[in-house]
Every structure is written in structure tokens, then in C-alpha cells.
Amino acid sequence: MAVFLRTYTPSAGTWRNAAEVFKFPGGEVHLKNIIPEADEKTVYIADVRGADLDDLMAAALWADIAHDREMWFVLKLPYLPAARADKSDGTQPIAKYVYAKFIESMGADQIITIDTHSGFGNGTWYGAEHGLLDLSPLPLIDRALETQGHWRYDGIIAPDKGAVDRAGAVAKHYGLDLYVADKVRDFNSGILLDYKLTVPKSGKYLVVDDICDGGWTFTELADASGLDRAHLDLWVTHGIFSGKANLLTRYYGRIMTTDSHPGHNRVGVASSIVPTFTYMHETMVEGLKYV
């Protein structure tokens, strides 16, 4: 499982392993070895990595404990489940909305996420008293690049028009040029016909996006650029790294991500993994000042 149940008090700090998650033979998720109630005001924290429903149920059970004890409940979801499924053609469910309603039922005082694919519904669907806080990935990218020592890029690449705002913010942050790749699709079928990207061949570039699933977009982008792995690095905030994502290392010199999703652990893909705990924790503590 990829859910961590903790408590926090200003005097004692964070208590890890505040409850143990288990499953009954019938399949129901439950909690045991629950930390006793403290005498002081306590924040109950569920930190869920990925979108596993058992993990989300454990978070909901932890929320129930917090509410019974009349304490604050904070839900950390660095990878917001189903954030890409925010619309429907009329034949499919809007999965982001369905997940959001379940998350709303937890009654969180604060929900913290990072670099959501889409902001659609973020302000209204989740019901957190203090809102859904969507943190910028920039401090995490800073940390990833610090591990490289004297890094240098000649530009930032957005893999498609949908990534322009995200990649553009990174380009502005570092004072670099932004290059945008163009996907050409068949209007009727949606099939990708061509992938175009023009960049100076002498430069070195960082490709920036929020999610890498099977990696196809990024291998096609590398082919379209005409650049080899010595000239391309990749940052994705959420590394799912499914399917043939292991092939990315043939195209990119460095692949950087966070630990927001369990897929980041896939052996032989990411060369730099940035922890998200401290970033989310500092945001949570800052929010407590206004309670």
C-alpha cells in the first residue's frame, strides 16, 4: 500500500505510523493499532501516493477517527487521482468528479496536491474547508537540478500545446526560451499523423510535463527533435512509468520526477527522484497558522 497515516502537533512534531492498515478476508480495508488521543490539538494526516482505492479508503477511515476526536484532518494527495479524466464525450463518466466526490466525503480541512493536470473542478468539487491547494512544481524542479551541480540548458520544451503554461512557467523561472512541439492529428479519428518540433541542434534542453505514463509521447518527441540523449533531459512531476517507459533512457540523459506516485520506483527509469514530503508538510504547517 502507498498510504501513510500520521499525526502532527506543534509541540511533538510528526508521529509516523499512527495507525496500521489491514484488510479483512472479505476485502474490507480497516485500521488497527491506532494512536491514543492526545491532550493537545492534533492534526491527523493521510498521505496517499497514487490512486489506489484501498489507500483512499484507509485515508477515509483515518478521517473518521479525526472527526470523532474533533481534530483537524489533512489529506495529502501529491498525485491527484483521475486529474486527466476531467471531461466526457457523453458516453463516459467524468472520473475526476467521481473521485472528487469520494474525497469530499472525507471532510478534509485541507487537501494538498502538486501540479495537477487540470484545474477544472479543483475549486468546487473537493469540498475542503480551506480549499484544494495545488502546489507549483518549481521548488521540486529546483531541487532536482541542484543535484546535477553545474547544469545548463538552452531552452525548455513543452511536448504539446497543453503543456505550454506548465513548461512556460519553468522557462520564465530560469530565464530560458520556450519551444513548443506540435501534434498533428487526423480531425475525424484523432490519430496522430505527425509530431513537429524545431530547435537549434547545438543546444541542450529540458522537456517539462506533469505526467509520464507509458512514455510514448516523450519518445516520439525526442525523435521529432532530431536530438540524441546528450541534448535532452526530462522532468515529469508524476512518474507513473508504465509499459515501455523503460525505453525513455535511450532518448533522455536524465529523467527526473518526484515520489508522488508509486510508479516512480520502477527500476531503471528515473535518475533523480525528489521527495515531496517536506514541501507538503511546510505548506500544511503554514496553513495551521490561520486556523
Classify residue 222: in a domain, yes or no: yes
Report the domain count for the chain: 2
Name which residue leads in pLDDT, 150 or 174. 174
Q: In this structure, are 270 and 142 located in the same domain?
A: yes
For residue 118, the domain's CATH number is 3.40.50.2020
**Mean pLDDT, to the nearest integer, of 157-162?**
94
Q: In this structure, are 113 and 157 located in the same domain?
A: no
- The amino acid present at 50, given as its one-letter code, is G
Q: In this structure, are 168 and 254 located in the same domain?
A: yes
Question: What's the rounded Cα separation, in Å, for the pair 116 and 137?
Answer: 10
Which residue, among 119, 111, 145, has the nearest Cα to 280 in the 3D structure? 111
Q: How many residues does the chain have?
A: 291
Which residue, among 106, 122, 124, has the nearest Cα to 114 in the 3D structure? 122
**End of a domain among 88, 111, 135?**
135
- Which grid coordinates belong to 171? 522557462
Q: Residue 190 pLDDT > 80, yes or no?
A: no
Q: Cell 500500500 identifies what position? A: 1
What pLDDT score was predicted for residue 150?
A: 73
Q: In this structure, are 50 and 129 located in the same domain?
A: yes
Q: Residue 163 pLDDT > 70, yes or no?
A: yes
Q: How far is CA 255 from CA 55, 144, 207, 247, 262, in A?
A: 27, 10, 10, 11, 16
What single string gives the DSSP state of each residue in 103-162? HHTT--SEEEEES-S--TTTTTSS--TT-EEEE-SHHHHHHHHHTTSS---SEEEESSGG
What pLDDT score was predicted for residue 220?
A: 93
Q: Residue 290 pLDDT > 60, yes or no?
A: no
Q: In this structure, are 67 and 19 located in the same domain?
A: yes
Which residue, among 264, 269, 234, 265, has the nearest Cα to 252 in the 3D structure? 234
Q: In this structure, are 123 and 190 located in the same domain?
A: no
What pLDDT score was predicted for residue 291?
A: 55
**SS3 assignment, position 165:** helix
Q: In this structure, are 155 and 225 located in the same domain?
A: yes
- The amino acid present at 235, given as its one-letter code, is W
Q: Residue 114 pLDDT > 80, yes or no?
A: yes
Res. 90 pLDDT band, cuts 50 70 90: confident
Q: Residue 122 pLDDT > 60, yes or no?
A: yes
**End of a domain among 135, 156, 182?**
135
Res. 271 pLDDT band, cuts 50 70 90: confident
What pLDDT score was predicted for residue 123?
A: 82
Q: In this structure, are 102 and 213 located in the same domain?
A: no
Q: In this structure, are 153 and 68 located in the same domain?
A: no
Residue-range definition of the domain harbouring residue 217: 138-274
What pLDDT score was predicted for residue 47?
A: 99
Q: In this structure, are 119 and 53 located in the same domain?
A: yes
DSSP structure class, residue 96: H
